[in-house]
Amino acid sequence: MTTPQLPTFADVQSAADRLQGIAHRTPVLTSSTLNQQLGAEVFFKCENLQRIGAFKFRGAYNALSRLTPEQRRRGVVAFSSGNHAQAVALSGRLLDTPITVVMPADAPQIKQNATRGYGATVVLYDRLREDRQVVADALIQEKGLTLVPPFDHPHVIAGQGTAAKELLEDTGPLDMLFCPLGGGGLLAGTLLSVEALSPDCAAYGVEPLAGNDGQRSMETGSIVSIAPPTSIADGALSLALGQLTFPILQRVARGVLTVTDEELVQVMRWFGERMKLIVEPTGCLGAAGMLQNPDLVRGKRVGVILSGGNIDLSRYGELLAG
């Protein structure tokens, strides 16, 4: 097997140039109450306020912007029912690229509609009887579409890294950083920025306890695959880290922490009540990991990535009502 070419901080910098004026430079917010409670200085990077409501716009737009004119003309396919689908769909509209999104037929209507709303074609498949990879492969073969995967792609990783680059530019070097972890695109990109801009910073990935493949992979030193987990953190239910994301995590991450769904709901409530921010359960992972470790963060300057805010308000209410 050949060693894949890993993205570098130079790739994050060039992604930042491409995203300039197109992605929002999202705000970095603080809470003096929280800082007093923890005896720390905590900076929240608010990607719930990014276009499409999550950081995934950064990676998708960067990846699409690098396709050749011919690839763009033929179009792009993505499979996802979540934030990546909307990110690719909006990027396609901005870059005049036809987008096809392969989604399970039982994906929430609201997500199908949001994706169609950005002008994408939605192809539904039967989750129990068909393999989405096979459905996507057929489209790639027949129509010459290019696949943009949700995390294991150098331009996707580089794009995701621009959020932490902005954070560190705003705050200066940090002692610690907590970042949600699914397949590792966001964390790997974040680590490239940390390595370049704040090399002494201890950076942690945080994943749902039910889907702790990342933690197990870091402990065993090779990529561990798991069966589909059940958690309210629906953006972090990937079954394995990627071939590109894992080596970057191994090189730079200080560790991977896990949190329960109950902890995520508590944090989601805190963001709503105290910060007036709607953060989806997956977006709460980093903050939940930090709050679990008050001794670790005391006296420190700490960054937390709030990765997204997309949740049905009725579902949000249900979760908070417990």
Ligand X SMILES: *Cc1c(COP(=O)(O)O)cnc(C)c1O
Task: Point out which residues bind ligand X (CB under 6 A).
Answer: 54, 56, 82-83, 150-151, 180-187, 235-236, 238, 280, 282-283, 307-308
Of 47, 166, 195, 213, the active-site residue reads 213
Q: How far apart are CA 70 and CA 75, in angstroms?
A: 9
Residue number with CB closer to ligand X (72 or 177): 177
Write out the chain in H/E/C secondary structure.
CCCCCCCCHHHHHHHHHHHCCCCCCCCEECCHHHHHHHCCEEEEEEHHHCHHHECHHHHHHHHHHCCCHHHHHHCEEEECCCHHHHHHHHHHHHCCCCEEEEEECCCCHHHHHHHHHCCCEEEEECCCCCCHHHHHHHHHHHHCCEECCCCCCHHHHHHHHHHHHHHHHHHCCCCEEEEECCCCHHHHHHHHHHHHHCCCCEEEEEEEHHHCHHHHHHHHCCCCCCCCCCCCCHHHCCCCCCCCHHHHHHHHCCEEEEECHHHHHHHHHHHHHHHCCCCCHHHHHHHHHHHCCHHHHCCCEEEEEECECCCCHHHHHHHHHC
CB nearer to ligand X: pick between 4 and 144: 4
Q: Please identify the residue of the shown chain whose CB is closest to the bound ligand X.
A: 308
Nearer to ligand X, 4 or 39 (CB): 4
Contacts of residue 318, defined as CB under 8 A and 6 or more positions apart, other chains included, come to none
- Relative to beta strand 99-104, strand 146-147 is unpaired
Q: Which is nearer to ligand X, 72 or 232 (CB)?
A: 232
Q: Is 307 a catalytic residue?
A: yes
- Residue 207 known to be catalytic: yes
CB of 68 to ligand X, least distance (A): 25
Per the listing, tokens 């999104």 go with: 101
Supply the minimum distance, in Å, between the C-beta of residue 84 and ligand X.
Answer: 6
Annotated active-site residue 17? The verdict is: no
Nearer Cβ to ligand X, position 289 or 308?
A: 308
Q: Which is nearer to ligand X, 83 or 193 (CB)?
A: 83
| Catalytic residue from among 56, 65, 91, 166 | 56
Please indicate whether residue 262 is annotated as part of the active site. no
When the beta carbons of 41 and 82 are compared against ligand X, the nearer one is 82
User: Considering the complex, what minimum distance in angstroms separates the CB of residue 282 from ligand X?
Assistant: 4
- The minimum distance between CB 96 and ligand X, in angstroms, equals 25
Catalytic position from the list 166, 207, 263, 280: 207
- Which of 189, 195, 307, 309 is an active site residue? 307
Residue among 81, 91, 198, 217 flagged as catalytic: 81
∠ CA 293-295-296, nearest 5°, is: 70
Clarify whether 65 is annotated catalytic.
Answer: no
Give min distance, CB of 93 to ligand X, in A: 19
CB 234 within 8 A of CB 240: no
Strands 176-180 vs 146-147: parallel, antiparallel or unpaired: unpaired
- Shortest distance (Å) from residue 60 CB to ligand X: 11
Q: Shortest Cβ distance from residue 103 to ligand X (Å)?
A: 15
Active site residue 222: no
**Active-site residues: which are they?**
56, 81, 207, 211, 213, 307
